[in-house]
Structure 1
């Protein structure tokens, strides 16, 4: 009989405990921790429900819109449902869209309650994977506004602050930025600026970028553009999991399945609004079949994960009949996808890349090719292939490799593995 079976064996448990007093203490500690987790979960749900009632007023974009520098905090409030041992704020801040016009973006800032270093906390700027393209799909609007931050507890335990943008168009009534690299990356960098201006957060100018899927695209572009866009900040490194780095390949690989139809339904309205002045609305939307054009608005209004059944009910019948041709080889989409794919500028800080080998959305071969491109550009890359890991789990599966890499990064000794 194993130790676990003995513990559960009624009267035998007492005799086992007497022979193993240290194990009894460990089991007691685990039981207390589990109880605290349950209690904290109940508290966060109750407080999260109370906060939802105040969300509409908080997320209302100021009118008239003030003229503010990128990263300026427009509005902030402390979040009562912050994870145990941390303090968090919901924030509205100024950013810039593709054309350089001022927009308002939402996000959250989280810091551990442990004392900050004398020079302030390093920030991990989290760029989340796809949640949708409609306002209500913002992660910070969820009952648990921290749900999609991969590695949040581990990062807080290590003393990092976390700055997590919603991206433009999520949370606040602005045009969608779905897979639009410039406004997405602007919002990531401006979220770090906004976090730095919260005095009680005690945040330094140092930051690390961390993104998954759509967030991988945003993080990589932020790394390419940080020195020019936010020169007052100090970027130490960028980490991505299953990044949507090459949109041309992503669209070619996925357009004939339900995931590709969903992605395209989010991207087409965003690209139409952003590029209409340059290419014309009709030319951009000509890629759609009549059935695709009729269904796009309905799909774009639905959130991924929470409304998957509704999305699949619309997208399923359109598989193979959503677009008239492959966007990756059809103008103006070919140009737009190329411009929003990472790799156009070198990244001068260390890069961590993780890719699940069972990923059916971002093909492992696509990430292999992107890493090869980084290596060709002499970037310091640490690349981990994750066996049997699918797309949705990639960021979490990467944590055992990411956390030691962050330690090496702080020490200035990351060990790249380019050939």
Structure 2
């Protein structure tokens, strides 16, 4: 006679007495869903949220049928029922409200993981458990609490990291449930007891150990990512009353970080002018040769994108020059030139940074030269040539456009714009096709919404993605935490609904057009462009140059084959010696081109 595999006296809830094939189906669904989430963590955030919602519901069902925790014939513990209800309620909440913000989803998932982890830890004290069951419950509980805390600490990447971790949990628990169903069916056919073997019991413990190891690794990574962010100091604090005259040196101090041998450097704080005409302060760096006759001609450097947040000033970063794409400082000094490099308004000083906004960045560049000339120890001369890359390329063009009216005393002899972010509508159009392009988009959204009242997050960013965009805007490209934004950017790049509408429409679009550098530059212009640049595309640059030429402004336009955005300005680029020779010609007083010229190298 076939023996019952459920011992007498054990009254089990209805969900624990479901047919084995039903439990097998639940386990199989769990494995399948977990595998999808693990293998496609960078699907769109909206779809990923729905997958997590479905996963939460499945996790609850698995808890009800045992979830790989209770074996055949065991009473399902009460904490399993509580955990199951928690998972299911959380999952239904996410599924019913798919438009939830990332922060709310992070809160739901984080709280669910923490509460479930605490319940698992408390279950260790339940009577009648084997040693392996207690160890597994304790370790799984601790891992759940750890992952829950990570979900709350990193709201913008919660859906990605938790998806992978949660997906792995679904796979493991689903496989255990499948194994139990298969083993139980075999026991019924053979008329034997389905009591678990030692290997089966300790498999749960091994899985729990793996979960703890993963949690510890994730926690260590979190600490490392958060510990590398730059920190501002009192040097960048503005005086109580900011002088109204722009270009005034407020304070200076020696600077040594990454300064080449044979050079001296200072960081400076000075006055400049906001886009609305109100006084502002900005910081920057001044570097001069340590030996020579002084009166150094000035290379006014406007750096490429380092970030939007206060701590992203190049003068604060570990690599203050290369972080903004200045790789040829030794060449500048070797030619007997000085470097004056603005941080721009807001980077370092803490007021809103006008990212890609022309007037204030151009003014900050010109005023940095004015202020640096008041630094007696630097002994700067009266000639200036502006160099700038990417964001800084546009800033250099704006400096050239307003120099005659705003700062004729700077003596701007030329403008070298290197892969400049000149055609802003074209740049915005290219961002979705660039890996990590959403990070630069986040900087642009943060910059324009902080400066222009008519450009708002609500109008242009889908509510579910607002936290992701704001978190990305709060990190610097050079800090370890940007890795979190890069992970999220993979998801953003596949989600056409991150933006509520195109930035090139409405007020944002009009403001982008307003900040295209105008054709009022009177100094000679060298514009260099990499032909393999995916960010500032040659097509967008061609359109900008064509506009200047049509307006009668000569441009020395040079394109470089095989050079991408940053490769264009690296030391081995053919642009570098050409840039040096072009600059020498400007400082010697040679006139620029009389008409536009296009050359390819």
TM-score, length of structure 1 as denominator length = 0.81
Where does residue 366 of structure 1 map in the other structure? 540
Where does residue 301 of structure 1 map in the other structure? 474
Corresponding residue to 1:376 among 541, 547, 550 = 550
Count of matched residue positions in the alignment of Structure 1 and Structure 2: 359
Deviates more, 1:252-261 or 1:103-112: 252-261
Corresponding residue to 2:279 among 99, 102, 110 = 102
Q: CA deviation at 1:163?
A: 0.5
1:332 counterpart = 2:537: no
Q: Assess if the C-alpha contact under 8 Å between 1:349 and 1:380 holds in 2.
A: no
Q: 1:34-53 residue pairs with structure 2 within 5 A?
A: none
Where does residue 353 of structure 1 map in the other structure? 527
After superposition, what is the alpha-carbon deviation per residue over 1:139-197, rounded to whole angstroms, capped at 9, x for unaligned?
10022323342321101111111100111111111112111111111111111111111
1:92 counterpart = 2:265: no
Q: 1:1-400 residue pairs with structure 2 within 5 A?
A: 56-62=233-239, 64-81=240-257, 82-116=259-293, 120-147=295-322, 148=324, 149-255=326-432, 257-276=434-453, 279=454, 282=456, 285-307=458-480, 308-319=482-493, 320-328=496-504, 330-342=505-517, 344-396=518-570, 397=573, 398-400=575-577
Deviates more, 1:346-355 or 1:74-83: 74-83
Q: CA deviation at 1:375?
A: 2.5
3-state SS, counterpart of residue 247 of structure 2: coil
After superposition, what is the alpha-carbon deviation per residue over 1:26-52, rounded to whole angstroms, capped at 9, x for unaligned?
xxxxxxxxxxxxxxxxxxxxxxxxxx9
CA distance, structure 2, for counterparts of residue 203 and residue 140 of structure 1? 20
Larger strand proportion of the pair: 1
Where does residue 31 of structure 1 map in the other structure? none
CA distance, structure 2, for counterparts of residue 124 and residue 239 of structure 1? 10
CA distance, structure 1, for counterparts of residue 506 and residue 530 of structure 2? 31
Q: 1:287 to 1:144 in 2, by over 3 A?
A: closer
Larger radius of gyration: 2
Q: Assess if the C-alpha contact under 8 Å between 1:405 and 1:414 holds in 2.
A: no
CA distance, structure 2, for counterparts of residue 88 and residue 68 of structure 1? 27
Q: Which runs of 5+ in 2 are unaligned?
A: 1-228
Q: Assess if the C-alpha contact under 8 Å between 2:459 and 2:501 holds in 1.
A: no
Where does residue 19 of structure 1 map in the other structure? none
Q: CA deviation at 1:54?
A: 10
Where does residue 28 of structure 1 map in the other structure? none
3-state SS, counterpart of residue 103 of structure 1: strand
Query: Where does structure 1 differ by over 4 angstroms across 4 or more consecutive aligned residues?
Result: 52-55
Q: 1:54 to 1:249 in 2, by over 3 A?
A: closer
CA distance, structure 2, for counterparts of residue 185 and residue 133 of structure 1? 17
Q: 1:387 to 1:406 in 2, by over 3 A?
A: same
Larger helix proportion of the pair: 2
3-state SS, counterpart of residue 332 of structure 1: helix
After superposition, what is the alpha-carbon deviation per residue over 1:10-34, rounded to whole angstroms, capped at 9, x for unaligned?
xxxxxxxxxxxxxxxxxxxxxxxxx
TM-score, length of structure 2 as denominator length = 0.57
CA distance, structure 1, for counterparts of residue 327 and residue 358 of structure 2? 21
